[in-house]
Structure 1
Amino acid sequence: MTVKQQPSIKDIDHLLRRGVAQVEKEPDLRRLLLEGNKGEPLRVKLGVDPTHYDLTIGHAVVFRKLRQFQRLGHKAVVVIGDWTARLGDPSGREEARKPLTEEQVNANAKTYLDQFFRIVDRGQTEVRRQSEWFDKFTLGDAIKLLGYKTVAQMLERDDFSKRYKGGIEIYLAEFMYPLLQGYDSVALRADVEIGGTDQTFNLLVGRELQPTFGQPSQQILTVNLIVGLDGVKKMGKSLDNYIAITAPANDMFGKLMSLPDHAMRTYYEALTDVDEAELDEFDRKMVEGSLNPRDVKLRMAREIVTEFHNEAAAQEAQESFIRQFSERKLPTDIPDYHLSADKNVVELIVEAKLAASNNKARELIKQGGVSLFPKGEAGTSIRIADPEFVVPAEDGAILKVGKRQYIRIKQEQ
């Protein structure tokens, strides 16, 4: 990774504006970036929630921003929230989150960091755990920390406010979470903290706490959260509108091509380095009708797949997509599925992991999303409309589920 020790105004503008929702006291952060921090790199903090084990490209938005700080010569400081995971973080949620065991936290943190370091430079990153300082906390320390905030101030946080107004219980332990996350900034002497817009309240708590411990207030930068593939709701696994960071290139490319046109600009800004002037030109030409949105989306998908894989994989994924959807050809990399006897289509879909449950499989069938290619050739498909349909164990037959999932039947003797 090339590191720029003396950033230009353009570098700083890109860091502070590209995909950014808000910078608290932007002139102060801009001055630190331009003039330096007494000869030392800024310590840019990111709190890691170890309840995740399979990350989405939505998580990558903040990772890429952290990488931008690194490229200007600054240090990423990643905090594993092993203590707060035991309390439950209600961020963006309308119910309490169940606490995790130490084993669950460690397993999730390892998987998280493996994916995190696909994007962020490991050599410019310091990884810490909350237990380093909170294991030493006494009851007196905890009560003193609680004394820095009132209940009324805590209820200003959006998710707490909604639960309180809706009559949904809020546990006292949950009020500790923003204070514990804020104290992390004290323990690490953070200069900057970054996160999604759903973390603004917690980030500000850290900024408010630091002066009481004799430290300068950290700078705050929040990034815009991208919508999921439905183009409406925040990307999340529970809504099944996500793309995993670890998704194969072809699968990632195909899902990106299903994104509604109106969401393309935010994906470009959050997940690519395509220049703003070029994005403006795309918008102008699409409005006047001289540029097909499909071509803009192909470019977007290629740029993003390159980010998570490489240029060759992205080019191959694009060619596969065009061959499959424009030329109506079947993919060339359909996985084999061994079948010893005829099987009910719903059972087959679930066993082959093409749907998460029988109900989801039936829903796909009802929506016309399941087809059989008895001869294993394009143009020979039969749409399956009956959930009681029995798939014959015929060698070479292809079952298509949804827009991008296929299996090729291999008959077991």
Structure 2
Amino acid sequence: MESKLARGVPLRVKFGVDPTAVSVTWGWSVPLRRLRRFQELGHTAVLVIGDFTAQVGDPSGKSATRRRLSADEVETYVAACTDALLRILDPERLEIRRNSEWLGAMQMPDVLELAASVTVAQLLERADFHKRFVEHRPISLIEFLYPLLQGHDSVAVEADVELGGIDQQFNFVLARSLQQRAGQDPQSCVCAPLLVGTDGARKMSQSYGNYIGVSEPPQEIFGKAMSIPDSAMPDYVRLALDLPTAEKNRLLEEFGGVKLKRTLARSMVEMFHGPEAAQQAEQEFDRRFVHRQAPEDIPESSTTEAYLPKILVELGWATSQNDARRSIKGNGVRIDGTTVTDEQQTLQPGTFVLQLGKRRFHRITVK
């Protein structure tokens, strides 16, 4: 890498992503935004879409074997993620590769040769594998293969640098060994801290439901940012925002509580939707959660049903009448801003604004 820099040759900076869900989360955006900065410095971003490895399942940080995805599921996720990835990266200095190009073409001798490059003892040094091993929990052979497959991606694209989360450190170091075996210079590894989810407890993940998606509507981004616990604010200011370090430190020193959250929420919306959308999202948030008013634009429908639990099922807000009654019992349902307390509530003919939780609204006309 040093010789390339000395000669003014652009580096090949790799970021690999397994498309296992429909959104690109803010957690992914941390290394992706760093990749964009490499592009701005004149280097080439190599985005490896793990359409093959997504069908294997990344065991990093997992306490159990992850469900394998079908090829059709993966293709659905690839299509959903691509637009969001291009919101962050510059297409002019971007090389997009699918690892099925080389992994899907491997024959059994190739797989055996790859497997011969590492020992079981080496793999068991990885924290999650070691923990599962000593606790006598299953580890499949295919999970042992995953770090090798990901490492082989770096060989295939001749990566000079690889970016990702700290949970990928073992895989990145293994890739260096595979590159050396292939006669390449080993890549440099840049690992970012993991962004905690909106619950403030676990890492951001779509499987946990604690994520913010970069392609989500401005109001959704703003609302989710406002729900982040105070304890997670320092992490979000440092990792989720594209601001100079001095400005981030100033925010943390001078702001606090709701003022800091509002600044964070506005800044996050501005990153992908612009300042006007951020202002509108904040106004909509105040309308709904400060002034307790319904949004201006909400879906409408009519029904001949008067029994509220049945109406909630019709709207898709409950899976059954028992489920609907549980929502009512938990004070999660409002009619025209007033919390419903009667699980057997019926509605007279007329038009009402129904609300479930903080974000679901519907204007219903009972005939």
Name which of 173, 177, 187 aligns with 1:204.
Answer: 173
Which residue type is aligned with residue 365 of structure 2?
K
Distance 1:175 1:389, change over 3 A: same
Is 1:372 the equivalent of 2:335? yes
**Aligned residues of 2:298 and 2:362 also touching (Cα < 8 A):** yes
Please report the RMSD computed on the Cα atoms of aligned residues, expressed in angstroms. Answer: 2.4
Aligned mates of 1:45, 1:404 — CA distance in 2: 38
**Aligned residues of 2:307 and 2:344 also touching (Cα < 8 A):** no
Distance 1:95 1:390, change over 3 A: farther
**Aligned residues of 2:305 and 2:311 also touching (Cα < 8 A):** no
Aligned positions of 1:293-312 closer than 5 A: 293-312=257-276
Is 1:401 the equivalent of 2:356? yes
TM-score (norm 1): 0.81
Q: Which residue of 2 aligns with 1:50?
A: 19
Aligned mates of 1:238, 1:357 — CA distance in 2: 24
Which residue type is aligned with residue 260 of structure 1?
P
Which residue type is aligned with residue 58 of structure 1?
G
Q: Which residue of 2 aligns with 1:25?
A: none
Aligned positions of 1:159-308 closer than 5 A: 159-285=128-254, 291-308=255-272
Aligned mates of 2:22, 2:335 — CA distance in 1: 34
Unpaired stretches in structure 1, ≥5 consecutive residues: 1-28, 286-290, 374-380
Name which of 92, 113, 126 aligns with 2:61.
Answer: 92
Aligned mates of 1:69, 1:162 — CA distance in 2: 36
Q: Which residue of 2 aligns with 1:378?
A: none
Q: Which residue of 1 aligns with 2:103?
A: 134
Which residue type is aligned with residue 43 of structure 2?
H
Aligned mates of 2:311, 2:134 — CA distance in 1: 46
Q: CA deviation at 1:127?
A: 1.1
TM-score (norm 2): 0.91
Aligned mates of 2:27, 2:13 — CA distance in 1: 20
Aligned mates of 1:355, 1:159 — CA distance in 2: 37
Distance 1:364 1:268, change over 3 A: farther
Q: Which residue of 1 aligns with 2:30?
A: 61
Aligned mates of 1:328, 1:73 — CA distance in 2: 49
**Aligned residues of 1:50 and 1:105 also touching (Cα < 8 A):** yes
Q: CA deviation at 1:181?
A: 0.7
Aligned positions of 1:323-402 closer than 5 A: 323-345=287-309, 347-354=310-317, 364-373=327-336, 381-392=337-348, 394-395=350-351, 397-402=352-357
Distance 1:295 1:181, change over 3 A: same
Q: CA deviation at 1:354?
A: 4.3
Aligned mates of 1:200, 1:391 — CA distance in 2: 58
Aligned mates of 1:355, 1:299 — CA distance in 2: 35
- After superposition, give the CA deviation of every residue in 1:340-374 in whole Å (9 maximum; x if it has no partner): 322433x544543446787775554343222111x
Which residue type is aligned with residue 205 of structure 2?
G
Q: CA deviation at 1:168?
A: 1.9
Aligned mates of 2:320, 2:20 — CA distance in 1: 23
**Aligned residues of 1:393 and 1:409 also touching (Cα < 8 A):** no
Aligned mates of 1:356, 1:152 — CA distance in 2: 48
Q: CA deviation at 1:113?
A: 1.3
**Aligned residues of 2:19 and 2:81 also touching (Cα < 8 A):** yes
Which residue type is aligned with residue 371 of structure 1?
R
Name which of 27, 47, 52 aligns with 1:78.
Answer: 47
Distance 1:278 1:353, change over 3 A: farther
Aligned positions of 1:6-25 closer than 5 A: none
